[in-house]
Amino acid sequence: MNVTATTEIVRAMRRHLTGAAFVFAGAALLAGCQSAQGPAGTVIDASAGSAVNIDSLTAVINQNPNDPNAYNVRGSAYGRAGQYDLAIADFNTAIKMNPNFYQAYANRALVLRNLKKDDQALADYNRAIELNGSYAVAYVGRGNMYREKKQFDLALADFNHAIQIDPSDPRAFHNRGLIYQAEKQYQPAIDDFSKAIALQPTAAEPFNARGLSYLATGDFKAALDDFNEVVKRDAQSYEGWTNQGLALEQLGRRQQAFNAFAHAAYLDPSYGPAVEGMHRTAGGGGTQLPATN
């Protein structure tokens, strides 16, 4: 690889590591309490924070005002909707009703992380683990906090513990892979991302992460295959299209690289790496934007 190529790959890696803190975070928000019973006995899905869904959950609470589970589920829906103050209020109520409600502590911690209240979030994760030392979700959440602070030894310990408790959780493998990637241990990172993919093949993030590790090791064909999978799963991922352009550029396919960069810039005209990629590959024959769906 030339100096420019190496620089671009390192920059892509840093962007990914910085922006990957909440990968699969939404899946954690409802752990331990996925649904609540509606007025007619129907199951209300709290995975979407829509106004209609929240109204339905409120109806459940009105019928069951002393049920901490109902507040936990609605708090999760508020969290998904970005209504963090309301989410915390519901988690507070759930915990007041049931001081041993470890899932509510972990859910509140995730919202507090989004609010950048790390000390309070860490205290909640610690409390959740104290109440249930086998709750893998709390270890993953706390591990991510340690990872963001570059306390990699503590983070690895938490991810290892989470994997030991629940080896079917893709988040623990993915986030442990991010630590290996940050430490330039690319093969262990690739192995962990591969496990995350096997456990959740519909997710784009592990493919993107593994592709970046392949880029770093010079396996550009494998990287391209992964970035192709990213944009299949998330056609709006300007980062995925940009990374696809990087792999194509390294394979000497400049026209296709230009088109990938151009498509990324079309999705987000302010994304500098895509625009820079277009400038580098201009003249390679690529002059048209790919068709959009």
Please give the full DSSP string across 152-209, using - where no structure is assigned. Answer: HHHHHHHHHHHHHH-TT-HHHHHHHHHHHHHTT-HHHHHHHHHHHHHH-TT-SHHHHH
Residue 1: what pLDDT?
A: 56
Q: Could you say which residues of the chain have pLDDT below 70?
A: 1-6, 10, 13-14, 16-49, 284-293
What's the rounded Cα separation, in Å, for the pair 36 and 68?
11
Q: Do domains 1-24+203-293 and 29-104 have the same CATH topology?
A: yes
Per CATH, the number for 29-104 is: 1.25.40.10
State the pLDDT at residue 60. 87
What number of helices (H) and strands (E) belong to the chain? Answer: 16, 2
Q: What is the pLDDT of residue 51?
A: 77
- In this prediction, residue 112 carries a pLDDT of 97
Do the Cβ atoms of 91 and 117 come closer than 8 Å?
no
What is the CATH number assigned to the segment(s) 1-24+203-293? 1.25.40.10
Single pTM value for the model: 0.82
For residue 2, the model assigns a pLDDT of 54
Domain positions in the chain: 1-24+203-293, 29-104
